[in-house]
């Protein structure tokens, strides 16, 4: 499970924007999470994505308001 703050989370793959080849398996993992086309877009554009877009793409499980995030995660972790 991956949760993100709507107000503060930023997602992206900045390597190409910095002239660095992506490595370490992150690109393969990303394509499994969000699909090949969206992963290529994220990797090749070096754009930043907000939490709501990341949720829509499947990059995170849920985007939650910052004020509610800790309580939400604690509630998930302490469920019987």
Within 13 A of 73's CA, how many CA atoms are on the CB side?
14
Nearest Cα to Cα of residue 9 among 48, 39, 50: 50
Q: What is the pTM of this model?
A: 0.85
Q: Which residues does residue 64 pair with via DSSP β-bridges, in sequence order?
A: 5
Please state the domain count of the chain.
1
CATH of residue 21: 3.90.226.10
Query: In which domain, by residue range, is 48 found?
Result: 3-77
> Can you give the pLDDT of all 80 residues of the chain as single tens digits?
999 999 999 999 988 888 888 888 888 999 999 999 999 999 999 999 999 999 999 999 999 999 999 999 999 999 87
């Amino acid at each position: 499970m991956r949760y993100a703050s709507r107000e503060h989370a930023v997602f992206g793959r900045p390597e190409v924007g910095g002239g660095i080849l992506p490595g370490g398996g992150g690109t393969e993992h990303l394509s499994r999470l969000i699909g090949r086309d969206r992963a290529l877009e994220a990797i090749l554009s070096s754009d930043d994505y907000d939490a709501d877009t990341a949720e829509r793409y499947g990059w995170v499980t849920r985007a939650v308001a910052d004020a509610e995030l800790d309580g939400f995660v604690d509630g998930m972790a302490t469920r019987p």
